[in-house]
Structure 1
Amino acid sequence: MQAQSAARDHVSVEISHTEDDIVSSIQGKMEVISSSINIRRVPERLRGEYSRHYLPQLVSIGPYHRGKLTSMDDHKWRYLFTLLNRNPDIGLTLDKCVKSLRELEHRARRSYDGDINLSSNDFIEMMLVDGCFILELFIKCSSRSLRRRNDSLFCTPGKLYDLRCDLVLLENQIPLFVLQRLFQIVPIPKQCTHSLYDLAFRFFKSMIPGEQEYLREKLNEEAHHLLDLIHNCLIPANYTKKDAPTRNGLDKHAVELQVAGIKFKRLATRSVLDVEFSKGVLYVPALRINPSTVILLRNLIALEQSRCVDTPCVTSYANLIHKLMSSEKDEKLFCEQRIVSNHLDGDAKVFQLFGDLCKGLILQDYHYEELCVQMKEYIDRKKRRTSKCNQKTDQQASKQSTLIVLAIIVLIMIFIGTLFSALSFFLHHN
């Protein structure tokens, strides 16, 4: 009996080890996939004279620009203390945060491109301070009652605007799973009843073009960081990745298309990328262009061009608008149709902006290829119909000309016959 019992125990141990091996293997594979590089440097070919659109001006987040904007460091630490101090046992909360971030450290490091020259403690401290700063900023934005009267981020005009611009920069991100884990641990004030996604959307909604309710619903999709979260909500509803390379583009700009018979109408709903063509009308969502829009578009394109995502829909959109709006006359047409409203500084033109956005782009998957084909086919059909109508008109005119000539000939024949009859009458009577 003892031998049988020992055998049973031995078998049980073997099974347990086997399960542990499988669990460890599966967990390792999941971590490799989920820890893929998704926060990269902006490709050099995109920077040019517009490097300022990729660099933080007020606050640095993550390792790429750490230590370059030290004036905000004290504010970060104050926000960290405010967030954690809502729990009477601040030490216990801090301990949980550090232990959780320690577990995520390897995955978080793998999210960045290149080596991060920070010790384990420094890296975890950075994730904690930056992550809690973002969470507390989101929380304060959601409720006025949680803001202090002397908080310069809310009292100084333009600072919140600058913060929004900084927090959408590709090089100024921390992994979203870090924010999610901290949000699960830190004490959230009772005045704040929103999810992390709701808080993020409420903070960024003023700079995301499109219908807010539609965009908010798409924020629940999995994302790697805050910029990627915004990118996900802008992906067109009908987006499908193409296996074949792009072959067709647009060879006419807006004014030429209008002359060719295509009309333009403003579409006020959904994502700004949801451009549609139907029955001779190109429906283009309204786009309000201001300096923050430019920064957002540039960094969304940089996200796509750095191969951090496999849906280059913003790159496709920039290319389409550039082709449509390639001159001041095209921009005037778009403004008249209320498709574009220009709120850029000085005398800057929107058509020039999109021309600049498209410099250095690599476009392999053009989302609007089918739309361009549809417009070309519509123009060709319209030309054929016009040609047939002209041909029919020419034929009718030719027939009418022939009939007129015949009528004239008949009249001449009648006249000649009458003349000969008259001459014959007079000759016989004389």
Structure 2
Amino acid sequence: METIADKSRDDELRNMDHNPVSAKTQADKDLVSSIKEKLEAVSSLKSIFRVPLKLLEVNENMYIPGTVSIGPLHHGKDGLKYMEDRKWHYLFTLLSRQPNQLESSLHECVNALSDLEKPARNFYAEELNLRSNQFIEMMLVDGCFIIELLLKYAIKGIRRGGDPIFVTPGLLNKVRCDLILLENQIPFLILQRLFQIVLVQVQHDQTLTLSELTFRFFRKQLPGDREFVNEKFSQEGYHLLDLIRQCYLPNYARVVSKKSVSQGDLESATKLKKDGIKFKRSKAKCLLKLKFSNGVLEVPPFTLHHFTEMLFSNMIALEQHQNDSQPFTSYALLMQAMV
């Protein structure tokens, strides 16, 4: 027996057959929808990559986490399992800081991350072999671990005695270094959304923003004076490494050279001096803002720290996957040639 639904569908098909304009309109809609899906997939911004093999072969230790895994690329590795219990402990502490709010906060976080799962996955250049619940749990644990770490670092009063990250000599610096690795990132939008849910009132009505907490934690990794860097640090970033990277970038537009320059064309400082080039300490706040004028090369001062090589190595690794300028790669090649 023909149902009402069958009759309605048959009538619709007959109408489309007798109305080529209607049929074409539907076909156009289907085509547009299909193309839109493909465009969204292509245009989704990838910002978390594997380090190129050519860089790993030089010094793998610059790119591989040795203490804590963040995100999917090193998740569950044997050498990093020690910190997994600490991450879960931080998650519990963060969500239970407000009395009787643990379960409701947990539900709200999971629901929020469920909504962000698709865009969060799109940040990663490779297909992730994680089921939805695994991915969401990992983002929750890792994201809350980072937020609680930032809070504990900025607000000593909320630290509990015996926290190994803060009492074990050198452990905090190891964790901090792992958080700037390209392969050890989660999207900053995950941190922002979780922070909105677990927002903690600090002193009186003063609330520290996520950008301010992150700035304080990574202050030693950042260049220039506090006001200059803090202003740039408040800008949006794709992840923690990208936030730090933006602080080093100059504000002026990129200048495109009309001539291709290879590494072999670069001269040492000794050779440049012999050729009459003078060197001057620049007052520029931006490390990458080198200036050459009237035979004088102005170079901003640069302080080396134990993390400097690791930080620059990972910013250079990030640039290898980008189609625009590569300022850190260029800077490193210039310094290497001049020294």
TM range, smaller chain: 0.7 to 0.9
1:276 to 2:276 alignment? no
Q: Which amino acid aligns with 2:268?
A: H
Superposed counterparts of 1:343-358, under 5 Å:
none
TM-score of the two chains, using structure 1 as the length reference: 0.65
1:114–1:33: structure 2 CA closer, same or farther, 3 Å change rule? Answer: closer
Deviation at 1:126, TM superposition (A): 0.2
| C-alpha contact (below 8 Å) 1:209/1:272 kept by paired residues | yes
| C-alpha contact (below 8 Å) 1:167/1:173 kept by paired residues | yes
Over the aligned positions, Cα root-mean-square deviation in angstroms equals: 2.5
Separation in structure 2 between the aligned mates of residue 212 and residue 122 of structure 1, nearest angstrom = 39
Q: Which amino acid aligns with 1:278?
A: S
1:152–1:66: structure 2 CA closer, same or farther, 3 Å change rule? Answer: same
Superposed counterparts of 1:328-343, under 5 Å:
none
Deviates more, 1:127-136 or 1:87-96: 87-96
Separation in structure 2 between the aligned mates of residue 145 and residue 29 of structure 1, nearest angstrom = 50
Deviations 1:195-248 (A, max 9, x none): 111111111110223333222211222221111111111112224163867347
Separation in structure 2 between the aligned mates of residue 29 and residue 92 of structure 1, nearest angstrom = 37
Identity of counterpart residues, as a percentage?
47
Paired residue for 1:216?
Answer: 230
Deviation at 1:30, TM superposition (A): 9.9
1:73 to 2:87 alignment? no
1:31–1:153: structure 2 CA closer, same or farther, 3 Å change rule? Answer: farther
| C-alpha contact (below 8 Å) 2:223/2:247 kept by paired residues | no
Deviates more, 1:297-306 or 1:230-239: 230-239
Superposed counterparts of 1:291-310, under 5 Å:
291-307=306-322, 310=324
1:166 to 2:178 alignment? yes
Separation in structure 2 between the aligned mates of residue 324 and residue 58 of structure 1, nearest angstrom = 35
Q: What secondary structure sits across from 2:280 in the alignment? A: strand
Paired residue for 1:51?
Answer: 60
Q: Which amino acid aligns with 2:225?
A: E
| C-alpha contact (below 8 Å) 1:35/1:108 kept by paired residues | no
Deviation at 1:265, TM superposition (A): 2.1
Paired residue for 2:276?
Answer: 261
Paired residue for 1:199?
Answer: 213
Paired residue for 1:403?
Answer: none
Paired residue for 1:16?
Answer: none
1:67–1:85: structure 2 CA closer, same or farther, 3 Å change rule? Answer: same
1:98 to 2:110 alignment? yes
Query: Which of 133, 148, 155 in structure 1 is aligned with 2:167?
Result: 155
Deviation at 1:187, TM superposition (A): 3.3
1:128–1:35: structure 2 CA closer, same or farther, 3 Å change rule? Answer: farther
1:314 to 2:328 alignment? yes
| C-alpha contact (below 8 Å) 1:108/1:175 kept by paired residues | yes
1:252 to 2:267 alignment? yes
Q: What secondary structure sits across from 1:170 in the alignment? A: coil
| C-alpha contact (below 8 Å) 1:211/1:268 kept by paired residues | no
Q: Which amino acid aligns with 1:75?
A: R
Deviations 1:118-161 (A, max 9, x none): 11111000000000000111111111112122111111121111
Mind listing any 5+ residue stretches in structure 2 that lack a counterpart? 1-29
Separation in structure 2 between the aligned mates of residue 269 and residue 244 of structure 1, nearest angstrom = 25
1:227 to 2:238 alignment? no
Separation in structure 1 between the aligned mates of residue 39 and residue 280 of structure 2, nearest angstrom = 46
Deviation at 1:300, TM superposition (A): 0.2
Q: What secondary structure sits across from 1:283 in the alignment? A: strand
Q: Which amino acid aligns with 2:222?
A: I
Q: What secondary structure sits across from 2:57 in the alignment? A: helix
1:196–1:244: structure 2 CA closer, same or farther, 3 Å change rule? Answer: farther
Paired residue for 2:49?
Answer: 40
Separation in structure 2 between the aligned mates of residue 272 and residue 42 of structure 1, nearest angstrom = 24
Instruction: Provide the aligned length of Structure 1 versus Structure 2.
Output: 301
Deviation at 1:274, TM superposition (A): 1.3
Deviations 1:290-349 (A, max 9, x none): 330000000000000122x63311111111112222xxxxxxxxxxxxxxxxxxxxxxxx
Deviation at 1:98, TM superposition (A): 0.3
Paired residue for 2:302?
Answer: 287
Paired residue for 2:70?
Answer: 61
Separation in structure 2 between the aligned mates of residue 74 and residue 248 of structure 1, nearest angstrom = 49
Query: Which of 128, 132, 140 in structure 2 is aligned with 1:120?
Result: 132
| C-alpha contact (below 8 Å) 2:266/2:334 kept by paired residues | no
| C-alpha contact (below 8 Å) 1:237/1:274 kept by paired residues | no
Deviation at 1:93, TM superposition (A): 0.9
Greater gyration radius: 1
